[in-house]
Amino acid sequence: MSLFTRQCSRIFDESISEYHIHDHVDAEIRNPYPSKSIEYRLFLKNWIDTVQWHLEDIIRNPAIDPVEALNIKRRIDRSNQERTDMVELIDVYFLDRYKDVTVRPAATINTESPAWAIDRLSILALKIYHMQREIARIDAREEHIRQCTQKLNVLLEQQKDLSEAIDTLLDDIENGRKYMKVYKQMKMYNDPDLNPVLYRQGKYSSILP
């Protein structure tokens, strides 16, 4: 891992550990980094992912009250929008960081931006943490632990490969071999002018705060 992907993984691990001190979806976020810094954004990005991870667990409870399930589903929708917004903010950081780079004539664009790759790195950190917890369960069967150990090894390999790919992409952008763009996500279901269920009613009650 380069300095940047090491920094990402360290901050993601900090966020996950901080969340699990209270292990509650309504726990207060205590972001230790200066507001608007890249470190702040990385910590907040993973915190959003971590809370949503646990909301997804809760909503799959077969005994959940339907009203509570609907409220959680709407909360997950808000979380997805916050996640997308944070990814775009991280990409804005990279756009500013590399704004003075001279792009080579043969430069190409990547299939995904740096921040969307970092989004996957954040999710991988969560998968690794929870797989490690499964392996540590004292009530788990030996076969369960064996299977989880195999899965953990794959996740760790994915983390290494993805980190190297991100490092390579950033190096290519920094040296003008690739260039990047930020495409604002065109989420239609939250837009009263684009969601037919909403605009056919002639009014819109937002689920967003």
SS (H, E, C) 85-132: HHHHHHHHHHHHHCCCCCCCCCCEECCCCHHHHHHHHHHHHHHHHHHH
Give mean pLDDT, residues 25-32: 96
Q: How far apart are CA 157 and CA 164, in angstroms?
A: 11
Q: Are 20 and 182 in contact (CB under 8 A)?
A: no
Give mean pLDDT, residues 1-20: 92
pLDDT at 191 over 80: no
pLDDT at 27 over 70: yes
Question: Structure tokens of 17?
Answer: 């550990």
DSSP string covering 157-195: HHHHHHHHHHHHHHHHHHTTSEE---------TT-TTT-
pLDDT at 188 over 80: no
pLDDT at 2 over 70: no
- Single-letter code of the amino acid located at 206: S
pTM for the predicted model, two decimal places: 0.88
Query: 85-111 pLDDT, tens per residue?
Result: 999 999 999 999 999 999 999 999 999
Percentage of residues in the chain having pLDDT higher than 90: 84
Contacts of 109 (CB under 8 A, 6+ apart): 178, 179, 180, 181
Q: How many CB atoms lie within 10 A of CB 74?
A: 12
What mean pLDDT is reported for the chain?
A: 92
- Of 194, 183, 188, nearest to 77 (Cα)? 188
Query: 119-137 pLDDT, tens per residue?
Result: 999 999 999 999 999 999 9
